[in-house]
Chains A and B, each alone.
Chain A
């Protein structure tokens, strides 16, 4: 590249020659296109024969990528039903929707008893909930290889290989049984608490 500045006549000659070369040589045309789009010059300079072969497999991956997990949409009916039960037995929506800023802790505490008592009733009646780990919190446990990573979450200094040894900071909860009431098919679950009109 000695000529860094081509003269006007030289440029006319280059333009006319290039014009016909582009029309006649597809590969040349492609190189000009890349040049005009501002692609790095080095690639233009690289031998062009290998380029078409490399294009179909861009990043060389170590293994084929796993298929994306199928997503399921939770049925809103069960969620609405649970909200309805929590409202009915624990006044859950009333409690959460109320503005608590104006009230004293004692007033909020009194209402919290209703909510706590009711929530507990709902949970005990409709679910069987047990800790994932029966050991006391703080006790040390060893997790063998292949432990259930859904049921047990490793935290902190997560390095090395299984078996892992650590202490339980939370025992976890697992629902063993769900006993939600059955609903008539025509029932509108969106009404989680009907308005009450006293006659």
Chain B
């Protein structure tokens, strides 16, 4: 493989994908030559256009729905599906054949991510695809679009970085890496999206970032995408005279984003229409959602506008006679978006979670509480001790703080184009800080809200080669497996379990954990399941630490892991003692191995992604 010419960054988003690249030859130090690839895609049948973003939608057409060549791309005629803009627009009228939010399905612990389950409301006749396969198709399209545009610099020979939410669990990370591998991405690295956003901000500052942050700063990254909200804390420390960035904490996975806001507004307006006797049909509701999005953007960016007229066009050719006319007022927007998604709450507020009603429909586990500020309060509260382990920063937090005090905030995601929303979060956060006598946090300006993640990912591939500042931090969780206590069984009670730490917090890419002392008996030829836990707060546990007790807030149960010892050289049914060993790959995934006693063998332990975890 020849030396890469470009560092390619790919934002594999819930609603949009983007590709940015840094030219190694044209970059030196903190000055980089960077571009965004216009992605060649179908925008309508037989129509090819280059757009800056690839909408993350997959459309599975009926065989007689399209003419031959309607799905052809400049590099292939052999596709029987469409991704991108055509999929999005065509699927709006035929949702039973549209796959959307594949990324949210990819990290949904309740379903089998390798099984063909999408679109989840499709009739049996439609050939479904798996969340994994959908991601493979988006990634493949991006690779092919690159190769078409750069025949002289094949994709496979470049430095590739793919972004994931910081809150992705090890199984979702591994699935993303597997999708990339299958799509022909060799030597790919995963990067957390909030980190990518910060890299992009550093890159855009052309070296000026050192003047905007100082040692001891705690940067809160608030990334609200189309479908997810991702929170991270990054500390600025000094090591050997240089500023260093250290990612100290990441938030929970919150399925809540800009699309939820548009939908919420559309329902408000639909209710208003219904009160006047007009009942929008599903097609009109979608058009209304679309109209609400641009009305929202107008109201949120211009404080002098009080109402924005909304028109839902008729479906038929009678445009004037058949259109529905209504409006979105500032009061409705304030009530729905500002008070619904960004309410001014106390720092002690926590997201409300309702008990799920007995029979929930199998769908995406959307956040039950839409208030992003409450999720933020919970995150900062949970991470109050996040700096305790970090040298030089312990003294930065006041005694008795009830939440971790950030000193600077970086926003990412299209919804923050609105100064009103930025202001609302800053106000709320600074209110919390003032209540504890802390100085207000600063806003880090100049972020590129739409393309920051892709741009930051490309820049990361560049700094990885020693060309600039890197964000350290390693894995943002410690991982545990459940061990049954050696206690006499009590009828009617589950035997109590202990949690054994197998991977400590902060393991860096390309490192291995020590071998724990504990051994487990694996039955040869039979899959053995372990309950698996992660903790985003227990930073002090080492490999081998055994927990007898933990609060639900400390340890979250993840999907089970599964080890199977192949019967080679052993007799099936034999019990072999093994140790569990963790390592973090260069790509950024966690790998667990079972190592039998006294041999050099290593058996991979799989994350169970079939959706039978303790849901």
Question: Most chain-A CB neighbours within 10 Å: which of B50, B315, B317, B325?
Answer: B317
Contact indicator B46/A88 (Cβ below 8 Å): no
The 8 Å CB contact of A111, one of B49, B70, B72, B311, is B311
Contact indicator A184/B46 (Cβ below 8 Å): yes
Q: Which chain A residues border B44 with CB–CB below 8 Å? A: 88, 181
Tell me whether B313 is interfacial, beta carbon within 8 Å.
Answer: yes
Instruction: Please count the residue pairs between chain A and chain B whose beta carbons lie under 8 angstroms apart in the complex.
Output: 73
Contact indicator A111/B68 (Cβ below 8 Å): no
Report the stretch among A21-29, A44-52, A89-97, A159-167 that lies at the interface. A89-97
- Taken together as a complex, chains A and B put the C-alpha atoms of A117 and B294 apart, in Å, by 10
Contact indicator A103/B321 (Cβ below 8 Å): yes
Contact indicator B319/A114 (Cβ below 8 Å): yes
- Map CB proximity to B onto A173-199 as digits: 1 under 8 Å, 0 otherwise: 000000101111011000000001000
Contact indicator A108/B320 (Cβ below 8 Å): yes
- Taken together as a complex, chains A and B put the C-alpha atoms of A183 and B69 apart, in Å, by 10
Contact indicator A187/B47 (Cβ below 8 Å): yes
Tell me whether B29 is interfacial, beta carbon within 8 Å.
Answer: no
Contact indicator A94/B319 (Cβ below 8 Å): yes
Shortest Cβ distance from residue A56 to the other chain B in the assembled complex, whole angstroms: 59
**Given A91-B313, A186-B68, A196-B93, do A181 and B319 touch, yes or no (CB 8 Å)?**
no
Tell me whether A107 is interfacial, beta carbon within 8 Å.
Answer: yes
Tell me whether B323 is interfacial, beta carbon within 8 Å.
Answer: yes
Tell me whether B444 is interfacial, beta carbon within 8 Å.
Answer: no
**Given A94-B317, A113-B311, do A183 and B323 touch, yes or no (CB 8 Å)?**
no
Shortest Cβ distance from residue A23 to the other chain B in the assembled complex, whole angstroms: 78
- Taken together as a complex, chains A and B put the C-alpha atoms of A94 and B315 apart, in Å, by 11
Contact indicator A187/B69 (Cβ below 8 Å): yes
Q: Which chain A residues border B48 with CB–CB below 8 Å? A: 181-184
Tell me whether A110 is interfacial, beta carbon within 8 Å.
Answer: yes
Tell me whether A39 is interfacial, beta carbon within 8 Å.
Answer: no
Shortest Cβ distance from residue B41 to the other chain A in the assembled complex, whole angstroms: 10
Shortest Cβ distance from residue B392 to the other chain A in the assembled complex, whole angstroms: 50
Q: Which chain B residues border A107 with CB–CB below 8 Å? A: 320-321, 323, 325
Q: Which chain B residues border A117 with CB–CB below 8 Å? A: 294
Q: Which chain B residues border A98 with CB–CB below 8 Å? A: 317-321
Contact indicator A95/B320 (Cβ below 8 Å): yes
Shortest Cβ distance from residue B308 to the other chain A in the assembled complex, whole angstroms: 10
With both beta carbons as reference points, the residue of chain B lying nearest to A195 in the complex is identified as B317
Contact indicator B47/A181 (Cβ below 8 Å): yes
- With A88-B44, A110-B311 known, 9 other A-B pairs at CB within 8 A are A94-B317, A107-B320, A111-B319, A179-B49, A181-B49, A183-B48, A184-B46, A184-B70, A187-B47
Shortest Cβ distance from residue B593 to the other chain A in the assembled complex, whole angstroms: 50
**Given A98-B320, A98-B321, A103-B321, do A114 and B69 touch, yes or no (CB 8 Å)?**
no
Q: Which chain A residues border B69 with CB–CB below 8 Å? A: 184, 186-187
Q: Which chain B residues border A114 with CB–CB below 8 Å? A: 311, 313, 319, 323
Tell me whether A100 is interfacial, beta carbon within 8 Å.
Answer: yes
Contact indicator B47/A103 (Cβ below 8 Å): no
4 nearest A-B residue pairs (beta carbon) = A187-B46, A184-B46, A181-B49, A94-B319
Shortest Cβ distance from residue A188 to the other chain B in the assembled complex, whole angstroms: 8
Contact indicator A182/B319 (Cβ below 8 Å): no
Shortest Cβ distance from residue B180 to the other chain A in the assembled complex, whole angstroms: 29
The 8 Å CB contact of A91, one of B50, B74, B93, B319, is B319
With both beta carbons as reference points, the residue of chain A lying nearest to B319 in the complex is identified as A94
Question: Most chain-B CB neighbours within 10 Å: which of A103, A106, A114, A183?
Answer: A114
17 residue pairs of the A-B complex, CB under 8 angstroms, read A91-B313, A94-B319, A98-B318, A98-B321, A103-B321, A107-B321, A107-B323, A107-B325, A111-B313, A113-B309, A114-B319, A181-B47, A184-B46, A184-B70, A186-B69, A187-B45, A187-B70
Q: Which chain B residues border A108 with CB–CB below 8 Å? A: 320
Contact indicator A182/B47 (Cβ below 8 Å): yes
- Map CB proximity to B onto A93-127 as digits: 1 under 8 Å, 0 otherwise: 01101101001001110110111010000000000
- Taken together as a complex, chains A and B put the C-alpha atoms of A108 and B318 apart, in Å, by 11
Tell me whether B589 is interfacial, beta carbon within 8 Å.
Answer: no
Tell me whether B167 is interfacial, beta carbon within 8 Å.
Answer: no
With both beta carbons as reference points, the residue of chain A lying nearest to B62 in the complex is identified as A199
Question: Most chain-B CB neighbours within 10 Å: which of A95, A100, A182, A196?
Answer: A182
Q: Which chain A residues border B317 with CB–CB below 8 Å? A: 94, 97-98
Contact indicator A111/B323 (Cβ below 8 Å): yes
Tell me whether B43 is interfacial, beta carbon within 8 Å.
Answer: yes
Contact indicator B311/A182 (Cβ below 8 Å): no
- Taken together as a complex, chains A and B put the C-alpha atoms of A100 and B68 apart, in Å, by 39
Q: Which chain A residues border B323 with CB–CB below 8 Å? A: 107, 110-111, 114
Q: Which chain B residues border A115 with CB–CB below 8 Å? A: 319
- Taken together as a complex, chains A and B put the C-alpha atoms of A114 and B315 apart, in Å, by 13
Shortest Cβ distance from residue A51 to the other chain B in the assembled complex, whole angstroms: 68
**Given A110-B309, A113-B309, do A183 and B47 touch, yes or no (CB 8 Å)?**
yes
Name A33-91 residues within 8 Å CB distance of B: 88, 91
- Map CB proximity to B onto A115-142 as digits: 1 under 8 Å, 0 otherwise: 1010000000000000000000000000
- Taken together as a complex, chains A and B put the C-alpha atoms of A88 and B49 apart, in Å, by 15
Question: Most chain-B CB neighbours within 10 Å: which of A108, A110, A113, A184?
Answer: A184
Q: Which chain B residues border A179 with CB–CB below 8 Å? A: 49-50
Contact indicator B49/A182 (Cβ below 8 Å): yes
Shortest Cβ distance from residue B85 to the other chain A in the assembled complex, whole angstroms: 10
Shortest Cβ distance from residue B299 to the other chain A in the assembled complex, whole angstroms: 16
Name B189-240 residues within 8 Å CB distance of A: none
Shortest Cβ distance from residue A115 to the other chain B in the assembled complex, whole angstroms: 8
Contact indicator A94/B70 (Cβ below 8 Å): no
Shortest Cβ distance from residue B324 to the other chain A in the assembled complex, whole angstroms: 9
Shortest Cβ distance from residue B272 to the other chain A in the assembled complex, whole angstroms: 16
Q: Which chain A residues border B67 with CB–CB below 8 Å? A: 186-187
- Map CB proximity to A onto B304-343 as digits: 1 under 8 Å, 0 otherwise: 0000010101010111110101000000000000000000
